[in-house]
Structure 1
Amino acid sequence: MQTNLSDSAKRLVHAAEAERVLRSCVHCGFCNATCPTYQVLGDELDGPRGRIYLIKQFLETDEVSDSTQEHLDRCLTCRNCETTCPSGVEYHKLLDIGRAAVEARVERPLGERLLRAGLRAVVPRPRLFQALTRSGQAFRPLLPAALKAKLPAHVARAKERPQGQHARQVLMLEGCVQQSLSPNTNAATARVLDRFGIGVTPAREAGCCGAVDYHLNAQDTGLDRARRNIDAWWPAIQAGAEAIVQTASGCGAFVKEYGYLLRDDPAYADKARQVSTLAKDLVEVLREAPLETVTLCADKRLAFHCPCTLQHAQKLGGAVEDVLKRLGFHLTAVPDAHLCCGSAGTYSITQPVLSRQLRDNKLNALESGKPDAIVTANIGCQTHLDGAGRTPVRHWIEVVDEAMG
């Protein structure tokens, strides 16, 4: 695509990157065929091709409006379009640049500003989030339905983690909201890894991966969180930790981008690249384990929801399903498994109507095979889908841990 950036656009920090991505697009429109928001709304400007046009128009003419911001906000950043694109357009990189540039020019209504500031103040802080979650649970009957759906009806307590020492050690990102909404997930991960002779080295100083701030256009704050995590992990990496395991695929996708995001930071570029290389979704570690040597009771019919951050961002579609099948679980078929559930980080809060419609469509597909339970690999998807109060939704590693006994 021919592109001529305006003088002001050329002064943007990532102007060259924006131009590179824009020029790679041939405008074929294949992306719209798999875009969840385009399928629901049927508006060209609510599909990847239309959003690319909007960003291009802004960067060339320096003209932008709240309508442009609205169409960019509606994007889930599911990256389904990138899986579909025959030209390899790195749409999410252009979207991040475009959103940040538009944010600097278009003032949001007060309500939106307060909501986004509130999300950034609460979600990345596990202790604060936990306190608010517990308060919400205590007053659950009094909450409005929309807020009640965000709180799980039951939170399984975290079981004891193994204390055994192993030659093989990995780090594990504990996450933000997962510690409150599904605290047993990481404990189950530690127990399953222990079965295969892998220990988890604690890194208490590591915190939020930075994705929440970054995708709400507070990009500098998100990168600062990335730097703090690198500092927290670095001693263990130097001591020989073989991987940084993520049990939330959304966090994993972002940590794997550290090398790209900090490529121009002379103090962190090399470390960030190494961290991105070591970052592994849990399934990448377990699929190399001798799973066939384990005896377990895999008597449940499961439907697996593959998060967008796992299949489109990390390119690990089918990996969890393969592990579950090797362990003896029966998986039901899921139509349109490539489509987003509507969670998308904070999207379910900032775009509630679209998000609920996508959730209900996804649940209809997941439940079509009459599963006993739905399992997934991302806390956002898990909470979002479970909030409908239909088939129970859990992290897949918890089901594996229980089946191992």
Structure 2
Amino acid sequence: MSGVKFYPNASPNDLQTQYVGRFLQDIDGPAAIIDVAVARQNCQIMLDAADKLGVLFRSHVKTHKTTELTRLQVGDKADIVIYGLPVQPSSFPRLAGLGTSLGEWSITVLVDSLYILPFLSRYRELTGYALGVFVKLDTGYSRAGVSPDSPQFRELLEAIYKMEKEEPTTINLRGFYSHMGHSYSSDTTSEALDYLTMEIERCETAAVQASDLWKGSGRRFIIAVGATPTTTSAQNLACLEVMSSAEKKVKELIQRVQQTYDIELHAGAYVTLDLQQLAAHARPAQNHLSFDNIALTVIAEVASLYPHREKPEALIACGSLCMGREPCRSYPGWGVMTPWLHNRGKEGSQEKVGWYDPEGDRTGWMIDRLSQEHGILRWQGPLDKMRKLEVGEKNH
């Protein structure tokens, strides 16, 4: 976004004037580049899979934080879940105001302890609206949530039931929400599906206990599960004619649980994807995720060259502020130079540039280390195959 007129409140017209018709290498970096066609395809594949499976789907938007990509994920209907724990009362009036711009909408919060419940009544007092509630379950990730087998869960469930009875129209228990974040460590489709199976079963344990309390109410609870690897693996169930035993097991589990509860898948990184998602191998060979499915890259300028070092290196104007704090487990670095079409000039031809493939020959430029605002590219592989860099050139 550097150099945008009227930033940070530039209008679409300002942005179009600033960027449309320019070559990528002429854009000031570092800058995030999104391939909208790829992102749109990723969104549609997920929505189609959910429809074929007969499950609900909830989109996470924290990866990109843009209204444009959110609309590709959900359209004009917004069913909002607030992830912040604990709930902040100061945000309640602002959240209620979302209804004026979102049309058909609802707001739900996640709760995972008794300490949060007193704040929920204040939402009704301040806004006049009732809050939906998901109980946030810990199904093995151990970040936030409460275990469905714990005394704390039963105590929380009974407190919510009591609050519903004593303060009608204040809250409404919608279901149980889990995030299988440790599924990012998956190496195969079967492993990702095993994580999904475990998560559904653990959430069903919670829903059964709630059904006993709300018996006779006609309440149909939602079991909300997922992370990008597990939700992506569920796409296999919708597109494969011949399924493995693991795929059959999950599909049968979904069909059984849906007789009593609604299953909702959720994910966020699936829109843009990254090398970490490719490393999870959540989709099999016949429907394989590849670099072509990654919609987000970062363009950065080469600032200096160090060919004399043990391995040739280069300084780029792109550091941890751009690349994030978590490395990808499939290679010992923080990013790779991608195979984009590099324009040599407005009149020049386009040339396919080599890249470091973590699952290929591992030859190419890789971000070896990062500081806050700079990164160090290091060449990996034979020197006679090295693509020479130039100071001032831009790369993804």
TM-score by length of 1: 0.23
Larger RCO, structure (CA 8 Å, separation 6 or more)? 2
Higher normalized helix content (fraction of residues): 1
TM-score by length of 2: 0.23
Higher normalized strand content (fraction of residues): 2
